[in-house]
A and B are shown apart, each in its own frame.
Chain A
Amino acid sequence: MNFHGILSIYKFEMGRTMRTLGQSIASPVISTILYFIVFGSAIGSNIGDIDGVKYGAFIVPGLIMLTVLSQSIANASFGIYFPRFTGTIYEILSAPLSFVEITIGYVGAAATKAIIIGIIVLTTAGFFVPLEIQHPIWMAFFLVITCVTFSLLGFIIGIWADGFEKLQLIPLLIITPLTFLGGSFYSISMLPPFWQSVSMFNPVVYLISGFRWSFYESSDVSLATSVTMILVFLSLCIGIIAWIFKTGYRLRN
């Protein structure tokens, strides 16, 4: 293993993050506060408890997921797209680094940043509602594995994209709808049966459900199902990346 190499990429990416830390943190924190004002206080006060959880508290896990999903994808896709765009990727490709090592460096950094922001959002939420986390270990597990999985997805998008528009396209057209319809703001059981069935095809439902379970022990699907689904999704992303590197797709032509 080229540990120095992995660490170099990781530190480089974290350095980039730190240079823009203000804006990286400001925007999710501000939107979290807005969500709390709109959904938590204004609308939430007219909504009853869901599964015995106050609405304001109910949306916390979903809000965190919403933020870390988009952060993971944005960080990782930009991280690998940018050197492709500027041409500095030549150095990564000419270095004695395996594909696994390159991925660990970029995805590790993107996931780290997303986790940090997830924790910041959680802390922010703590100012609005009393936090209770029944299963902190599971909570950490879901947070980390979600950040890693979606950073892998972002990495794939960053390799696939051949323009800045495409970099934005997938998050905008696919990820945002999926997260909004993934049960951040409602319980799936509140939907009509047809839409409940449709929701089962949305991978984000399983993430939010499992994550919310770690907070309040209430969930839309069983814990085992959530864990299985996220692992399936993780494996899928790893599979695609393995294929990318094997074929040199968009990296080594």
Chain B
Amino acid sequence: MTKPAISVQSLTKTYDSGLIALDDINLDIAQGEIFALLGPNGAGKTTLISAICGIIRVSDGIIEICGHDHTKEYRIARGKIGLVPQELTTDAFETVWNTVSFSRGLFGKPKNPAFIEEILKDLSLWDKKDEQIRKLSGGMKRRVMIAKALSHEPEILFLDEPSAGVDVELRKSMWRQIRRLRDNGTTIILTTHYIEEAEEMADRIGIINKGKLILIEEKKTLMKKLGKKELILELYSKVTEIPTPLADYNLLLSENGKRLTFTYDPSKKNNGVAELLDHLKDSGIKCKDIDTRQSSLEDIFVTLVGQS
């Protein structure tokens, strides 16, 4: 069995100020998956990434990168990770080429101009390679940071709020880039407070709030729960049992027989809503009111975050 790309056990981080930024985090991220860490501002996303990457000390707990302890075997562990931090911090007076080559060197890798060239071309930075970073736009700086993180061929890539302050165009192209990396086997962890981004990109989603991981779920499972719509029928008069012609609809009878709930997939053309209404009419069941409801990741998020 392959080791998880990242394994975090009972991780706690208390800042010097006394603030508990991470509270007993347990998380395994499989190799090759895209994991989205979703949470409001101040939830602890950056702190978690900083702890895994060795930028801050942890107060308690274990972090392993592909089975290597992140402090005892820090050389192996850190060598596998590329980090694109949240803030655009760059060496303003360096050229794009130099800063990316510098990053590769820091991680102990010998020069490889061909590889750097490939990265810069992939990120549409090639024609800017001799430009000083301070002369670049914000979006381009963000891409330089990505190039730096990829320069040492990491197996795991962290993207901390990659979409912050980035226009739609760049966001889309970044997403394509990220998918391409995943297709080549790179494990990707991104943090975001845009639900749309998590929905679009992730294989699995973790929701963090006030330093606690409150939910970890496969996106597919989550979307199955979310993608469905409910048709709620308030009945005119009480029904004791569902008539046989309606058996196929898997209806739920509630409110003392005065409410029928039908769950369907709105994305399907033949989702059964029209037929159900016909069947109801044929069976002589009259509706007082009809309502539909769709839960979204947003709903779940708001509910979960509100509860915790």
B-contacting residues of A (Cβ < 8 Å)? 2-5, 7-9, 11-12, 15-16, 19, 86-88, 90-98, 248, 252-253
* In the complex, chain B residues whose CB is within 8 Å of the CB of A88: 89-91
Contact of B78 with A94 in the complex, beta carbons under 8 Å: yes
Contacting residue for B109 out of A4, A11, A97, CB 8 A: A4
Q: Which B residues touch A98, using CB under 8 A?
A: 75
- The answer on a CB contact under 8 Å between B108 and A86 is no
Tell whether, in the assembled complex, residue B106 and residue A253 are in contact, meaning their CB atoms are under 8 Å apart. Answer: no
> Which residues between 173 and 213 of chain B lie within 8 Å of chain A, taking CB atoms?
none
Roughly how many angstroms separate A250 CA and B56 CA in the complex, as a whole number? 10
19 other contacts beyond A8-B105, A253-B16, with CB at 8 A cut-off?
A2-B75, A3-B108, A4-B106, A5-B107, A8-B102, A12-B91, A15-B98, A16-B93, A19-B93, A86-B92, A87-B89, A90-B53, A90-B55, A94-B78, A95-B106, A95-B107, A96-B74, A252-B55, A253-B15
Count of CB-CB pairs between chains A and B under 8 Å:
82
B-to-A contact residues, CB < 8 Å:
15-16, 50, 53-57, 74-79, 81, 83, 85, 87, 89-94, 98, 102-110, 148
Instruction: Find the B residue at minimum CB distance from A10.
Output: B105
Instruction: Please give, as numbers and ranges, the residues of chain A lying within 8 Å of B56 by CB-CB distance.
Output: 252-253
Assess whether B98 is in contact with A5, with CB atoms less than 8 Å apart: no
CB-defined contacts of A2 to chain B, threshold 8 Å: 75, 108
Complex Cα distance A216/B15, Å? Answer: 56
- CB contacts (< 8 Å) of A9 on chain B: these are 106
* Complex-state Cα separation, A219 to B75, whole angstroms: 48
Given A19-B93, A88-B90, A88-B91, A94 and B105 contact (CB-CB distance below 8 Å):
no
Which of A3, A12, A93 contacts B55 (CB under 8 A)? Answer: A93
Knowing A88-B89, A94-B83, A253-B56, say if A5 contacts B103 (CB, 8 Å): no
C-alpha gap A252/B107 in the complex (Å): 19
Interface pair B91/A94, CB less than 8 Å apart: no
Q: Does B106 lie within 8 Å of A97, measured CB to CB?
A: yes
Q: When the two chains form the complex, which single residue of A87, A96, A252 contacts B75, counting CB atoms closer than 8 Å?
A: A96
Q: Is B108 in contact with A4, judged by CB distance below 8 angstroms?
A: yes
Interface CB pairs A-B, < 8 A, 30 = A2-B75, A3-B108, A4-B104, A4-B106, A4-B110, A5-B105, A8-B102, A11-B102, A12-B91, A12-B102, A16-B93, A86-B90, A88-B89, A90-B85, A90-B89, A91-B103, A91-B148, A94-B54, A94-B55, A94-B81, A95-B107, A95-B108, A96-B78, A96-B79, A96-B107, A96-B108, A98-B75, A252-B55, A253-B16, A253-B56
CB distance from A91 to the nearest CB of B (A): 6
Residues of B within 8 A of A93 (CB): 53-55
Closest to B75 in A: A96
Q: Indicate if the CB atoms of B148 and A7 lie closer than 8 Å.
A: no
CB distance from A43 to the nearest CB of B (A): 42
